[in-house]
Chain A
Amino acid sequence: MQLYRLTLATMLQRKVWIIALLCALLLPIILPYLTPHESNPSLIEPARAQAAWICLWVVTIAWVFFQAARFGDDTARSGLGAYFLSAGVSRVSQMMQIWLACLTFLLPLVAITVALCLIGAMPSEASQAKMWVATNMQYAALFLLVIMPLVMLAAAVGSRFGSTIGYLVPLCLSVYGIYGVGYLAMMTTVQNNVLLDWLYVVSPHYHLADLTPRLVFRHGSMLGSEFLHLVAYFVGIKLVLSMISTLCFQAKPVT
């Protein structure tokens, strides 16, 4: 696990994690006070939950994806990938070690977000509180299922096509999956186009993993069966993306 330790040490040394940590920790506390909370104090708690999860999405997409893409790129071009290959560390193992190092920074951010929601925005009523905990746990699980394969994809594409493309591919894919698919759905209802219908079907529906409205409007947690269906759907996407990443990752520049 030398590459894992080296990647972890590099991320620590770059110190950008401090900004990511502060964003995840402080913005959900500060931003709710921008709402008209003086006239309606009940706005603070849902706004805090909303800010916490939005900050997590933004920090992950802006920072974690970029780090993964850069490490993929650096490993292939710095000679480190070739060094580890010669030492018997396969390219798949190298990709997994970079991926794990990025996740090591991501997981505490997820834990902080969930903790902020549970400590700073928990409903006082017992039944609602139970729902609140369940919704946050479901959200954390779905968030990780969406993000983890995209981090792997960033490292893999970065290693083959450079850090810029390695960053843009998962960024565009996640933004499209969260917002773009909604617009596509509207288009498919207006136009009767088979191609658009197919595109809608094969698109990654990441918006399904965004449970922020459930938290803000206190819709309660998802039913077990509904949640499991979503888990199965995202595990499927994860398998496809992991396969693409495994094929795409390279430990040395193309000669």
Chain B
Amino acid sequence: MKLTNNSPKVGLPGGLSIGYHERLAQVADEDGGIELGSGTHYLLARNGRGKTTLLRTLAGVLKPLDGDYSCEGRCQLLSEDLVFDHELPAKVIFKAMLKKTRCKEAMELARKLELDVCKPYGKLSTGNKRKVALLLAEFSVEEGSSDILLLDEPFTGLDAFAREVFQDLWRRREDGVLRLVSCHPDFDSMEMESSVLITDGKIIHLSGEQIPKQWGELKVQLN
């Protein structure tokens, strides 16, 4: 991944706690905080442990219960419940939301993903609806603007082919984007260079050579 001077950064200092009314998870003080740079980071936790809450907090949609955090870059939160008007075809959504050149690129990738861009959004399957949102987020990224994409379960409903296309795109693109992706991987060999885990009410970051890289080894750490 190419790093620019204005690389995006997400900082979660020790003491940061997230939740709605009750605390869901906290960055442990003794860990000295978490700092994420450009690249793809997977956010892993069991159901109801605070993945969505953490993403919403980082996006500025929700206030942290305690402590503070920093997001240096242009954020985009792609929440799981993001839906568009049911009558709008993907083509119209892209044209309305993306720049002309990026819209063309999005349409090309949509063709590759077998997404019917002329079909009304409401008539698309769950997986195809996710493709629309993912394409929108990916092609909203502006060169040199230190983008931070907060993707909440973007693979829900996606077939293995589409998921691999996106993961391959993330690896290939040298855009310096920071992607924080919450997901529930469905195969043990899924590789993760950097992962943020929420387990036992603690938010921890695993990266570097010594830590497990595959979902099969990581999932045993989750509680």
Contact size range, B? 20 to 34
Least CB separation from B75: chain A residue: A86
Are B59 and A2 in contact (CB-based, < 8 A)? no
Tell me, in angstroms, the Cα distance from A13 to B76 when the chains sit together.
26
Contact size range, A? 20 to 34
Least CB separation from A87: chain B residue: B76
Tell me, in angstroms, the Cα distance from A86 to B92 when the chains sit together.
22
Cβ of A78 within 8 Å of any chain B Cβ, yes or no, is: yes
Are A78 and B82 in contact (CB-based, < 8 A)? yes
Cβ of A80 within 8 Å of any chain B Cβ, yes or no, is: yes
- Residues from 49 to 91 in A contacting B, C-beta threshold 8 Å: 74, 78-80, 82-83, 85-88
Are B56 and A82 in contact (CB-based, < 8 A)? yes
Complex interface: stretch among A3-11, A213-221, A235-243: A3-11
Are A13 and B79 in contact (CB-based, < 8 A)? no
Complex interface: stretch among B83-91, B105-113, B182-190: B83-91
Residue of A10, A79, A86, A88 near B88 (CB, 8 A) is: A10
Shortest C-beta distance, B102 to chain A (Å), equals: 12
Tell me, in angstroms, the Cα distance from A79 to B62 when the chains sit together.
13
State the majority secondary structure of interface residues on A: helix
Are A82 and B61 in contact (CB-based, < 8 A)? yes
Residue of A2, A80, A88 near B82 (CB, 8 A) is: A80
Given known pairs A6-B96, A9-B96, A78-B82, the reply for A86 and B77 (CB within 8 Å) is: yes
Tell me, in angstroms, the Cα distance from A67 to B85 when the chains sit together.
13
Given known pairs A10-B85, A80-B84, the reply for A87 and B96 (CB within 8 Å) is: no
Contact partners of A85 in chain B: CB under 8 A: 59-61, 77
Are A6 and B75 in contact (CB-based, < 8 A)? no
